[in-house]
């Protein structure tokens, strides 16, 4: 179950990006913005500060996820792991670590920007609202999946 949740948290943003011209990613982001607007209940002054930082944050994450998605496509085109040499396997693993570290660096960078510009309770509400949004999307996804027959 944890693996499913982890995969979805990684894969859902990639799906949104992959939908590109059809606007699927934009629709999801619009839903998230509406969700955050409701959950954060920002004052006019805090909203003027929050949204530009948030938009930069989303842009940076989107750029990283697009790059990661492109690497995933080329990874899928590779032969079986058994056919790769040790150095190639190590490079694939280290590239994944690199993407995850870069994602964490973006998270830390924007946490510091939010924290230095907004009350910490607002920052806390933001992170809690993001997690609640992911949970909501995951529940909707599960509800839309056809029931699996039990063996």
pLDDT tens digits for range 4-36: 333 333 444 444 444 444 456 788 889 999 999
Mean pLDDT along residues 120-128:
95
Backbone angles phi, psi at 146, to 5 degrees: -65, 145
Mean pLDDT along residues 90-101:
88
Give a yes or no: residue 21 inside a domain.
Answer: yes
- pLDDT value of position 146: 78
Do 10 and 96 contact (CB within 8 A), yes or no? no
Mean pLDDT along residues 112-122:
97
Label residue 71 by pLDDT band (50, 70, 90): confident
Give a yes or no: residue 151 inside a domain.
Answer: no
What whole-number percentage of the chain has pLDDT above 90? 48
53 pLDDT more than 80: yes
Domain that holds residue 16: 2-138
Give a yes or no: residue 17 inside a domain.
Answer: yes
- pLDDT value of position 150: 61
What pTM does this model have? Answer: 0.71
Give a yes or no: residue 10 inside a domain.
Answer: yes
Question: Which contacts of 128-131 are long-range, i.e. CB under 8 A and separated by 24 or more positions?
Answer: 128/39, 129/35, 129/36, 129/39, 129/40, 130/36
Label residue 77 by pLDDT band (50, 70, 90): low
Looking at the 3D structure of the chain, how many domains does it have? 1
Give a yes or no: residue 68 inside a domain.
Answer: yes
Across 36-45, 110-119, 140-149, least confident range: 140-149
Give a yes or no: residue 107 inside a domain.
Answer: yes
Give a yes or no: residue 8 inside a domain.
Answer: yes
Give CA separation, 133 vs 16, 26, 85, 125, in Å.
15, 15, 41, 12
82 pLDDT more than 70: yes
Give a yes or no: residue 114 inside a domain.
Answer: yes
Which phi-psi region, left, alpha or beta, contains residue 85 (left: φ > 0; alpha: ψ -120 to 50)? beta
């Amino acid at each position: 179950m944890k693996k499913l949740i982890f995969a979805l948290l990684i894969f859902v943003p990639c799906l949104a990006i992959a939908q590109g011209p059809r606007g699927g990613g934009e629709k999801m982001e619009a839903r998230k913005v509406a969700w955050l607007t409701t959950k954060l209940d920002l004052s006019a002054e805090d909203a003027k500060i929050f949204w530009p930082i948030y938009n930069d944050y989303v842009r940076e994450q989107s750029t990283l996820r697009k790059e990661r998605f492109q690497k995933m496509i080329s990874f899928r085109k590779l032969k079986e792991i058994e056919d790769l040499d040790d150095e190639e396997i190590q490079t694939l693993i280290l590239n994944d670590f690199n993407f995850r570290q870069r994602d964490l660096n973006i998270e830390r960078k924007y946490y510091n920007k939010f924290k230095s510009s907004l009350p910490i309770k607002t920052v806390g509400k933001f992170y809690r609202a993001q997690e609640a949004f992911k949970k909501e999307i995951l529940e909707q996804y599960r509800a839309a999946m056809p029931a699996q027959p039990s063996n």
